[in-house]
Amino acid sequence: MPATATTTVAHAYQARTTDYDGAVSERPLTAAEADDLIAWAIVENDEVVPDTDRSGRLTITRTITGRATGTDRRTLRRVVRLEPTVRPRRLTERQYQDLDLVADQEDSSSPARRDGGRVHAGFGSIPPAAAERLLAAGWLTEDPDGTVQVSFAGRVAMVLHQHRTETGHMGTDKEIVQADGVRVWAPGIPLYLARCSCGHRDEHHYEAQAAAQAASRAHRAAHLRALFA
């Protein structure tokens, strides 16, 4: 029988729920519990919205509309706000590669498995200590049979690592002729560029830095939303 390793089940999220009646409650969720909650929300067509910054926060909203009394109709909402326990910014390049190794095997006939603490994924593997850190952060989950998957928290961290947006700028200097006939270069208003670590370059040049930053966030947000489509 293969050796198994003991993993301390850490909490991946702190969940703050505002119920239909306005009552507020909080509780921690493991990565597996959060995955079940998010997966069920997607099946039920609830709204799952990631924050557009790099916080990794998620908001799940369920809306119901029905008759309260007589012909009156009421719309009620239940909102669950998920705050990650471990910030996605802490994901290192090596950890990203390890998560990607596991993710690549998830749709194969041989998904990643943990044996003796080491995670085996295809032709690669993750050492026990590194695997334990990923599990403790809630970025990996392990089934009772040893199968390992990337959690939703891990997928969000991966997308944020892939899409580290930045705002650059380009000069618009131009040559002018002074009154004395001398030609000189005069500084113009800079144009701002929206860029991403994935290689994306927005085709527009923005006169306002805030507009370029908004375009960068929109690019990142699109990839985050795709996780929950």
Mean pLDDT (whole number) for 72-80: 89
Q: For residue 3, what pLDDT is reported?
A: 45
pLDDT tens digits for range 169-187:
666 566 667 777 777 766 6
Mean pLDDT (whole number) for 143-151: 94
Note whether 12 and 86 are within 8 A (CB).
yes
Query: At residue 206, does pLDDT exceed 90?
Result: no
Cα 131 to chain center, whole Å?
Answer: 20
Other beta carbons within 10 angstroms of residue 86's beta carbon come to 19
Mean pLDDT (whole number) for 50-64: 94
Range of 67-76, 144-153, 214-223 with top mean pLDDT = 144-153
Paired tokens of 50: 């990631």
Q: For residue 212, what pLDDT is reported?
A: 86
